[in-house]
Amino acid sequence: GLLGVVTMLVCIAILVTRGLRIATQLNRRPYLSLLATGLSLLVGVQSLLITGGVLKLIPLTGVTLPFLSYGGSSLVANFIIVGLLLRLSSEEVDRGA
């Protein structure tokens, strides 16, 4: 159980840091940079809210844990976020070539 939780939190942390790295690479396009930052922080804040609620540090809310919670619309929204981040990462590669 603990190994699985730690693994999932590390994967979410990697997703957030990669998203923020994409945002810094898009510094010449402010809208895209802010979009990547917002999408990354959305996933990160959701994870922090659930983690804090489970540890009884804050009250639990109706926010779902990205990619783990049972909820079809939440899962679809998280995959859309990942797809947008992938598209934004290819945006910088396309403009650099």
Residue range 66-87, pLDDT digits in tens: 888 887 899 999 999 999 999 9
> Is position 72 within any domain?
yes
Residue-by-residue DSSP string for 12-62: HHHHHHHHHHHHHHTTTSHHHHHHHHHHHHHHHHHHHHHHHHHTTSS---S
Closest CA to 22 of 66, 77, 83, 97: 83
State yes or no: pLDDT of 51 exceeds 80: yes
Domain around 35? 2-92
The distance in angstroms from the start CA to the end CA of the chain is 45
Q: What is the mean pLDDT of the chain?
A: 90
Range scoring the smallest mean pLDDT among 43-47, 77-81, 90-94: 90-94
Evaluate whether residue 97 is within a structural domain.
no
In a domain, 53, yes or no: yes
Nearest CA among 41, 37, 13 for reference residue 25: 37
What's the confidence (pLDDT) of residue 92? 62
The tally of domains found in the chain comes to 1
